[in-house]
Chain A
């Protein structure tokens, strides 16, 4: 996974550098530093460092054997997936209802068997946030595509 992360960084660095060299000029027409000056330096350094890190990581991975994935990576994956689901729910049903659904789901995964506590928290937390952000701070909560009162 470590090498995959580095490879993704390298790919992003290459794309960043390509844009810097292809689209942004190094100097302006008047001879001053152009918008591409910093991005070209940053992109080049990123590509070189990512390549160096990738090579040294491949060597150490070959020496130490396979880098395993810890058991708790599954908990992280569940949390990340639930968070993605939360973002989708916010878009569909808005801040208050989306938060109730997210908390019900995530608490029933990680805090199993505590039905009353989970249900209470799932309602109380969005209610408090609504009071804090919308009523007290006069800020917005996400509005969903479905026409719901909250």
Chain B
């Protein structure tokens, strides 16, 4: 019953007019970020983080979270109408979304993806509501050894998910760890890698690096791929179709698909490093394997669109569990969200929901409202987003460069941070180009200082003995979980890869 009381309290916080306004702005911005190909939620969050500086923390966090899950909704519009995923988590939606649109069923596809996203998002938040307090309860007994192991778990799972690119991913993570060591060592007071600069004493700030890697880096990479030379000529004109609304058969045939996709997506989303992309690909594979008409997948099967949509939205809710209850982000996007929490002086972890109950429950309650708002926006504002898709990238890109630069400066009025952001942008471009992982770098930059502090405290407690990791039940559980994930994750990845490969062969 406590959960309902807490949720009710959160709802009271979330429904204040100003918070509703922030939520709607976040949802709209998330949709816009989603529909722009080459721009994921990480980039959108990083770029817009400075804009939240003057806001109340509750409203700001609600808005940023709405951008995160709103991008999942928006990314599918281009998947269906343009065969170009707005972001990586909507790749699986192109497999059947675009064929449906080509068959003259773009309208029903757009409505069904909005409903599936709503179902996935809402089921995900319901599970988050129930499970987050339980996770926090378990994590209450965690000390420095467990936090060190959790940070390592987050990094290891991300590296495992990089597959054959794990070596370059590890180099990326080590660069992030290295950047995290800059500044004054809190235990001894000795400066590290500051070279006499007063601006570096506090360490390298996370925000300019995030904006540079995900904002500028992605933008340069999109230019490299020629995004500024292509238009939206292939855009399917859904408004000329006879039937906009889905048929009864569409609803009936996908009712269990939504539930399956949502549950699978949520579980995958909770695993640090796995994320919405893997969740959507796995849901697609699962749906095809249980379907009575697997041969129709890749040719315009509604279940092939609904499953990944439900999964990627549920995964974005699932990713909030390790973030809120353990303070461990599982992806680049949630790392930026963690940075937002830290920017407001809030430290997510086992006691977060208890010590910041109005904010934490207001945030969870806002996700219910945000999903409702996104359902309505998604169905009735499609013409608006189609217009946004038509804006050429060559016009959009310079404006994004300006927002990244001025936004970075506005956080601390620092020219150094602006230059740092630009350098991170150039490095981020080369990292994308040569197969490195900007997400691993960012995650390591967040987790590195935490892991170092936790390890030093652990060894202080144990007087230098590493056996402490084997003496505590919490540590043992985390180590067992890590080993299990090391075995299971490559299998999940292989399952998702077959989904990616098969529609291509079907279409060939």
**Which interface residue of B168, B402, B407, B411 has the most chain A CB atoms within 10 A?**
B402
Q: Tell me how many residues of B have a C-beta within 8 Å of chain A.
A: 60
Total contacts A to B, CB within 8 angstroms? Answer: 156
Whether, in the assembled complex, A75 has its beta carbon less than 8 Å from a beta carbon of chain B, the answer is yes
State the CA gap A39–B429 with chains docked (Å): 26
Contact of A87 among B167, B192, B405 (CB under 8 A): B405
**Which interface residue of B192, B398, B399, B434 has the most chain A CB atoms within 10 A?**
B398
Whether, in the assembled complex, B223 has its beta carbon less than 8 Å from a beta carbon of chain A, the answer is yes
* Chain B positions within 8 Å of A107 at CB level: 394-395, 398
State the CA gap A53–B165 with chains docked (Å): 11
* Chain B positions within 8 Å of A140 at CB level: 409-410, 413
State the CA gap A9–B172 with chains docked (Å): 10
Given known A24-B190, A50-B171, A95-B409, contact A80–B220 (CB-CB < 8 A): yes
Against A, the Cβ 8 Å flags (1 = close, 0 = not) of B448-465 are 100010011001100010
Contact of B226 among A72, A95, A136 (CB under 8 A): A72
Q: Tell me how many residues of A have a C-beta within 8 Å of chain B.
A: 60
State the CA gap A46–B444 with chains docked (Å): 14
State the CA gap A91–B406 with chains docked (Å): 12
Given contact pairs A72-B224, A72-B229, A73-B224, a sample of 13 additional A-B residue pairs in the complex whose CB atoms are under 8 Å apart: A5-B434, A9-B171, A16-B193, A35-B187, A39-B192, A42-B174, A43-B178, A83-B405, A86-B401, A102-B401, A110-B395, A139-B411, A141-B410
| A interface with B by C-beta (< 8 Å) | 2, 5-6, 9, 13, 16, 19, 24, 28, 31-35, 37-39, 42-43, 45-46, 49-50, 52-53, 70, 72-73, 75-76, 79-80, 83-84, 86-87, 90-91, 95, 99, 102-103, 106-107, 110-111, 117, 121, 125-126, 129, 132-133, 136-142
| B interface with A by C-beta (< 8 Å) | 50-51, 53-54, 167-168, 170-171, 174-175, 177-178, 181, 185, 187-188, 190, 192-193, 216, 219-220, 223-226, 228-229, 392, 394-395, 397-399, 401-403, 405-407, 409-411, 413, 415, 418-419, 422, 425-426, 429-430, 434, 448, 452, 455-456, 459-460, 464
